[in-house]
């Protein structure tokens, strides 16, 4: 079954705090690009973007996963942080920064509360930046955790909504069944009632009239119950 990446994009778009997070991410690092990306083994998809360079990316844009650091982050669960690519012992000359002309970069993993990897929160620029400082790193990790919790909350809300719709649908079916059943029973009860009244009028045998009288009382009680059922179904279906 194919994964619904549009649902992931929509979920991030529903988190009202994300644009503020991307704005703060750019302010504290000096970067002019920040994004929340959905990352799998095979795909990198932008879910929300602040692009002041501009790279030309927007929600729904994709990059080849092999041209990003995000698959490495997905596998290791660790952040990648670079202040100045040209002076970095590990990433100087690395093909990914070279491809995009990146000089500063920070990307931290986003996990759901259950530990499932969702993607990354990143910021970058074509100029050197201020990434490898404790306040920046801790802020990005906090933001990533907040996004993960928001995504989980949206999932729970959607599940609850679906359960409520299902419960309401089942309740409607029950009420319609009650109404149909009450109508179906109405005719036989009326026939029984007519027959018991006839017996009470036309038959002199005390044993017969006693049974007929008991049947008549039972029929009236059942008829009252059916009226109550119909009234219940009518009110609840009208409310739906």
In sequence order, what are the residues at sequence separation of 6 or more whose Cβ sits closer than 8 angstroms to the Cβ of residue 76? none
pLDDT in tens, 56-107: 999 999 999 999 999 999 999 999 999 999 999 999 999 999 999 999 999 9
Domain map (residue ranges) of the chain = 5-155, 163-239
The number of beta carbons lying within 10 Å of the beta carbon of residue 145 is 15
- CATH number of the structural domain 163-239: 1.10.287
Q: Going by CATH, does the domain composed of 5-155 fall within 3.30.450.40?
A: yes
Contact in structure between 51 and 126 (CB atoms under 8 Å):
no
Fold: same for 5-155 and 163-239: no
Tell me if the bond preceding 146 is cis, omega within 30° of 0. no
Q: Average pLDDT in the 165-189 region?
A: 67
pLDDT in tens, 39-68: 999 999 999 999 999 989 999 999 999 999
pTM (2 decimals)? 0.67
User: Which two structure tokens, joined as six digits, stand for 148?
Assistant: 């993960």
């Amino acid at each position: 079954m194919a994964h619904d990446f549009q649902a992931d994009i929509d979920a991030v778009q529903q988190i009202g705090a994300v644009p503020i997070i991307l704005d703060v991410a750019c302010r504290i690092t000096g970067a002019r690009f920040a994004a929340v990306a959905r990352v799998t083994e095979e795909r990198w998809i932008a879910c929300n973007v602040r692009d002041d360079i501009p790279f030309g990316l927007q929600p729904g844009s994709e990059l080849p996963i092999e041209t990003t650091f995000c698959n490495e982050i997905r596998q290791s669960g660790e952040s990648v942080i670079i202040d100045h690519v040209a002076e970095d012992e590990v990433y100087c000359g690395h093909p990914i920064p070279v491809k995009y002309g990146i000089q500063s970069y920070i990307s931290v993993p986003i996990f759901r509360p259950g530990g499932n990897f969702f993607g990354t929160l990143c910021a970058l620029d074509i100029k050197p930046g201020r990434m490898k400082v404790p306040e920046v790193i801790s802020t990005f990790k906090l933001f990533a955790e907040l996004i993960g919790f928001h995504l989980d909350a949206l999932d729970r809300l959607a599940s609850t909504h679906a359960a409520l719709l299902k419960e309401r649908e089942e309740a409607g079916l029950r009420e319609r069944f009650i109404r149909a059943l009450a109508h179906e029973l109405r005719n036989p009860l009326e026939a029984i009632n007519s027959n018991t009244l006839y017996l009470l009028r036309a038959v002199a045998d005390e044993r017969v009239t006693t049974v007929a009288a008991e049947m008549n009382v039972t029929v009236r009680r059942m008829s009252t119950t059916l009226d109550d059922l119909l009234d219940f179904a009518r009110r609840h279906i009208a409310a739906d």
